[in-house]
Structure 1
Amino acid sequence: MATWAYPPLPADQLRHEEETALSKELEWLLASLQESLASLRDGLQECAGLLAPKEPGSTLVVSSVRSESVKGFVTRVGTRIVKGDIHLRLTSLPPPRGANSTRLNVSSVPGAPELVLDQLAAVRNLVNQGLDVVDVSTFTGDPLNASFISGQLRLLYEHISEAKSALKGNAETSKWWEHSADSSVFDPPLPPYLSFHLTIVDAALVLHLRTLEPNPANQASGSFGAEIGLSIRDRLFGPRLPSHDEQNDVFVWQGEEVKVKEKIRVETQDPSLIAVMAKLSALEHEVLKCRASLKIVMGDEDSDLE
């Protein structure tokens, strides 16, 4: 900070005047940050309201775009799927006798397992933790302690960034073989070797349905003849192109090695989750600005804000 004074002041007095001016500027900034924290609280409360379990919830269409493979809907209330009626017409999943599709119906029987969206539960917890940070910064701690407020802003930024990351989805949430829905969530239960994996990707609800089969490598009988047949067919017609990106992979699902026969992906936009993502992005940007301003006045502008 450059300070000009005329007539020139002695060095000690000039340094004292600079420190006094910086102290007053820091005090003013800390007071103004309380207004920013109040605004951040309002934004977090709006996010919490959008994620709250309010009836009747959000009913979302879950249907494949250019085929009859998947047709139906689910109803989300807060972090749970409370209703769902989906009809499947998959090549590798013959329908029950007398039906033209396989029906997946989320159970309404008392005591049945709930279909919880763990990512939304994480987002809701992180938003609530952010609200706690704002309350501590405003009502419990010293609002004029720059180091305290700086630490609280860093903590708030981490909570908001983690919440936004949970809504975007990551490699951990995509592990379908670990996070497939419990068969007894549905009434009747899911057919054998069918994985129902519901997740959040970029604030959209994404359903992956996979029909599975035991890993052929573990089934010795008949494998030699099958290999010969495949070899002859490959020489005559060329190798068959994989029908999906997991065709040659082996997964451990429910304690058994399996391969994926057929894979269907259906995405549906959830307006409430899109609004939460937009609000979290704006809040993250606002907190970053507050942190940058405080670090500059504290003389710590070279430190890493991430």
Structure 2
Amino acid sequence: MATWAYPPLPPDRLNREADSALARELQWLLQSLQESLASLKEGLSECAALLAPQEPGSTLVLSSIRSESVKGFVTRVGTKLVKGDVQLRLQSLPPPRGSPSTRLTLSQSPESPDLVLQQLVSVRNLVNQSLDIIDVSTYTGDPHDAGFIFSQLHLLHETISEARQMLKGDGDVRGNWWETSVSDDMFDSPPPSNLSFHLSIADSALILLVRTLESNAIAQAPTAFASDISLTGFSLRDRLFGSRHKAHDEAGDVFKWKGEEVHVREKVRVESQDPSLMSVMAKLTALEHEVMRWVSALKVLMGNDDTESEP
């Protein structure tokens, strides 16, 4: 904003005129925000609808690329998986006698627990909290109070950002597989005891990680026919051919699984893009940027230079 005028004004009057113009611009922005809040609420309501339990739900294919390791599908309704049928063909998982693969089918029994995707529950709750923040900003307090609206928008930005990060699967929001794998009683027939079936959300896709496990005590026990036994501490195999590449990124790590220390023998990752979740992610990203834009504009007009208040 220009701070000069012709004919020249006394400095004190010039400052008063500048402050008055800034105050009018701030009030105009606060008035405009009421319409923007209605638009933000509409976008969040669309996200809530996409996360709501609506039949017939979304059927997602779970199949490994360029292999027969994993073949199957699941059906998501809201935050739950209500159907699922997956065939596994893993080198470290011998199939039942007379069958070419190990089959896992989600139970349809009313007594079986629901397979709930906790990340989607968190996203849905955060979207609902964002809608509540907008209602408070619209119907509670003074909509012309810049400090009140600024704090509400700041809170709204943080809530939407958390929902987007939860859907993206950043950090540890996906849970530890040894604690949050699908429990045995969710399947028609209990899976093998050395099998972990873990589901999560990352980048708006459903991620399935299948792991076959082996007791750490068994894995460390040497046998008389082990080809890499060395009494000197140096392996002849490693000397001749070099060290072997790790089969996966968790090779050599030890985990606590059902009260026992285990290591992962085989690990297969499969992802299936969910169009509804992709739409939610796109909407949340756009809404987050829009709220940040309004927060920045308010900050400038309020003369707030406190960097700690930046979203």
TM-score class, shorter: over 0.9
Instruction: Give the match for residue 263 of structure 1.
Output: 267
Cα gap change, 1:21 to 1:237, in 2 (>3 Å): closer
User: Compared with structure 1, are the counterparts of its residues 18 and 106 closer, same or farther at alpha carbon in structure 2 (3 Å cutoff)?
Assistant: same
Contact 2:50 2:280 in 1 (8 A): yes
Distance in 2 (CA, whole Å) between partners of 1:263 and 1:283 is 37
Q: 2:104: which partner in 1? A: 104
Which residue number corresponds to residue 159 of structure 2?
159
TM-score computed with the length of structure 1 as normaliser: 0.93
**1:110-149 equivalent positions in 2, closer than 5 A:** 110-149=110-149
Quote the offset at 1:10 in angstroms: 3.0
1:279 aligned residue: 283
Name the CA distance, whole Å, in 2 between partners of 1:191 and 1:214: 14
Aligned to 2:50: 50
* Equivalent residue number for residue 233 of structure 2: none
TM-score between both structures, scaled by the size of structure 2: 0.92
Q: Structure 1 regions of 5+ residues with no counterpart?
A: none
Cα distance in structure 2, aligned partners of 1:230 and 1:81: 47
Looking at structure 1, the residues matched to 35 and 46 of structure 2 have their Cα atoms a distance apart, in angstroms, of 17
Q: Which residue of 1 aligns with 2:300?
A: 296
Letter in 1 for 2:120: L
Distance (Å, rounded) in 2 between the aligned partners of 1:95 and 1:78: 33
Task: Confirm or deny that 1:83 pairs with 2:83.
Answer: yes
Paired residues of 1:184 and 1:190 also in contact (CA < 8 A): no
CA positional deviation for 1:183: 1.3
Number of the residue aligned with 1:223: 222
Displacement after TM superposition at 1:302 (Å): 6.0
Q: CA deviation at 1:233?
A: 4.7
Contact kept in structure 1, 2:164 and 2:281, CA below 8 Å? yes
Q: Secondary structure at the match of 1:72?
A: strand
What is the alpha-carbon root mean square deviation over aligned residues?
A: 1.9
Tell me which amino acid in the other structure corresponds to 1:67: S
Distance 1:212 1:302 in 2: 52
Asked if structure 1 preserves the Cα contact closer than 8 Å seen for 2:4 and 2:14, the reply is no
Deviations 1:145-204 (A, max 9, x none): 000000001100001110110111133125211221111111112211100011111111
Cα distance change on mapping 1:188 and 1:133 into 2, 3 Å: same
Point out 4+ residue stretches in structure 1 off by more than 6 angstroms.
none
Q: Which residue of 2 aligns with 1:208?
A: 209
- Which residue of structure 1 aligns with residue 192 of structure 2? 191
Cα gap change, 1:278 to 1:248, in 2 (>3 Å): same
| DSSP 3-state at the match of 2:307 | coil
Aligned-partner residue type, residue 23 of structure 2:
S
Question: Would you say the 8 A contact 1:216–1:223 is kept in 2?
Answer: no
> Equivalents in 1 of 2:209, 2:147: separation in Å?
47
Deviates more, 1:151-160 or 1:111-120: 111-120
Q: Is the 8 A contact 1:113 1:182 kept in 2?
A: no
Name structure 2 gaps, 5 residues minimum: 231-235
Q: Distance in 1 between matches of 2:229 and 2:135?
A: 66
Shift of 1:16: 2.3
Whichever residue aligns with residue 99 of structure 1, its letter is S
Number of equivalences: 304
Residue of structure 2 in register with 1:175 after alignment: 176
C-alpha spacing 1:176/1:255, structure 2 compared with 1 (3 Å): same
